Amino acid sequence: MDLERLTEEGRELYARRLHDAAKPYPGMTEALRELEKRGFLLAVLSNKPDEMTQAMIPRQFPGIAFAQICGGRNDVPLKPDPAGALRLLRRMGVAPEECFYVGDSDVDMKTAQAAGMTPVGVAWGFRGEEEVIAAGATYLARAAGDLLLLAEGRLPLLKR
């Protein structure tokens, strides 16, 4: 079996099971609702295929009005290339230096830096705090509620 066919089969299986076990991390839905209530624009940028990202985010976070939801597409390079992040920001009418980019991997921290956004690592998720700190996170959120502290300017900078 060739790699292309195997990749397609993997995508089909992932799409069929997209909602089986996925669920938001503890406190994320509440934190996002509160940030939205406070007037923050929220967006999602994922390397997962766009059609899957578009299906998953509204289901995982019902009632939250994300300004943009963008997954991987053939016409935009994947993260850590900053093109997708910059495109998303242009659509939102927001300058990179006005944004916090929250992520759980070195790829996310590299994307934020390359796009000129403030990289915020999270201690939960795909890789963990050691990786995001080593990759250049400016802030570290250890719980979803820390994102509210960040929004209030009360989350301390990481010491280097």
pTM metric for this prediction: 0.90
pLDDT the model gives residue 136: 97
- Is 3 part of a structural domain of the chain? no
Is residue 33, in this structure, part of any structural domain at all? Answer: yes
Report yes or no on 138 lying in a domain.
Answer: yes
In a domain, 81, yes or no: yes
pLDDT higher than threshold 90 for residue 147: yes
The CATH number of whichever domain residue 139 belongs to comes to 3.40.50.1000
pLDDT in tens, 103-129: 999 999 999 999 999 999 999 988 889
Tell me, yes or no, whether 94 lies in a domain. Answer: yes
Q: Please list, in sequence order, all residues whose beta carbon lies within 8 angstroms of the beta carbon of residue 76, skipping any fewer than 6 positions away.
A: 70, 83, 84, 87
Does 37 reside within a domain?
yes
> What's the CA gap between 10 and 24, in Å, rounded?
23
Query: Could you tell me if residue 5 is inside a domain?
Result: no
Domains contained in the chain, number: 1
Burial label, 82 (beta-carbon count in 10 A; 0-12, 13-18, 19+): buried
Domain range holding 40? 23-151
pLDDT in tens, 36-51: 999 999 999 999 999 9
